[in-house]
Amino acid sequence: MSSSSSDFRVMPALIAIGMGLVVWFIPQPEAVSNQGWLMLAIFIGTIAAIIGKAMPIGAISILAITLVAVTRVTDDNPGTAIRDALGSFSSPLIWLIAIAVMIARGLIKTGLGSRIGYHFIALFGRRSLGIGYSLALSELTLAPVTPSNTARGGAIIHPIMRAIAKSFDSTPDQGTSAKIGKYLALVNYHSNPITSAMFVTATAPNPLTVKLIAEATGGDITLSWTTWALAMLVPGLVALLLMPLVLYWLYTPEIKYTPDASSFAKERLKELGRLGRDEKIMLGVFLILLLLWAEVPDLLAGGYMDLRVNATAAAFIGLSVLLVSGVLTWKDILEEKSAWDTLVWFGALVMMATQLNELGVISWFSDSVQGLLVDADMGWPLAAGLLILVFLYSHYFFASTTAHITAMMGAFLAVGLGLGAPPMLFVLMLAAASSIMMTLTHYATGTSPIIYGSGYVTLGEWWSAGFVMSVINMIVWGLVGSFWWKLLGYW
- Residue 444 pLDDT more than 90? no
- Residue 109 pLDDT more than 80? yes
How many helices (H) and strands (E) would you count in the chain? 25, 0
Closest CA to 58 of 340, 449, 399, 355: 340
pLDDT at 7: 85
Beta bridge partners of residue 257, listed in sequence order: 127
**pLDDT tens readout for residues 333-388:** 999 887 888 788 878 887 887 888 788 887 787 778 777 877 787 888 898 999 99
Residues in the chain: 491
DSSP H stretches of helix in 57-91: 57-70, 78-86
Write the Ramachandran bin of 359: left for phi over 0, alpha for psi from -120 to 50, otherwise beta: alpha
pLDDT at 107: 82
Q: Which residues of 143-170 are buried (b: 16+ CB within 10 A; e: fewer)?
A: bbbbbbbbbbbbbbbbebbbbbbebbeb
pLDDT at 175: 92
Compare 396 and 252 and report the one with higher pLDDT: 252
- Residue 184 pLDDT more than 60? yes
Phi, psi at 165, each rounded to 5°: -60, -45
For helices 380-393 and 401-418, what crossing angle results, to 10°?
A: 170
Which long-range contacts link 266-273 to residues 24+ away (Cβ below 8 Å)? 266/118, 266/122, 268/114, 268/118, 268/163, 269/115, 269/118, 269/119, 269/122, 272/111, 272/114, 272/115, 272/118
Average pLDDT over residues 137-165: 86
Q: Are 239 and 468 in contact (CB under 8 A)?
A: no
pLDDT grade, residue 4 (50/70/90)? low
Torsion of CA 290, 293, 294, 298, to 10 degrees: 120
Residues 6+ apart with CB under 8 A from 445: 149, 150, 192, 193, 203, 400, 401, 438
**pLDDT tens readout for residues 10-64:** 999 999 999 999 999 998 888 889 999 999 999 899 988 987 889 988 899 999 9
- Residue 2 pLDDT more than 50? no
Closest CA to 404 of 357, 353, 354: 353
Q: CB burial class (10 A; 0-12, 13-18, 19+) of residue 431?
A: buried
Average pLDDT over residues 261-269: 88
Torsion of CA 286, 400, 96, 344, to 10 degrees: 130
Q: Is 127 helix (H, G, I), strand (E, B) or coil?
A: strand
CA atoms in the 13 A half-sphere facing the CB of 142? 37
Give the span between the Cα atoms of 270 and 268, in whole angstroms. 5
pLDDT grade, residue 445 (50/70/90)? confident
Phi, psi at 6, each rounded to 5°: -110, 150
Phi, psi at 67, each rounded to 5°: -60, -45
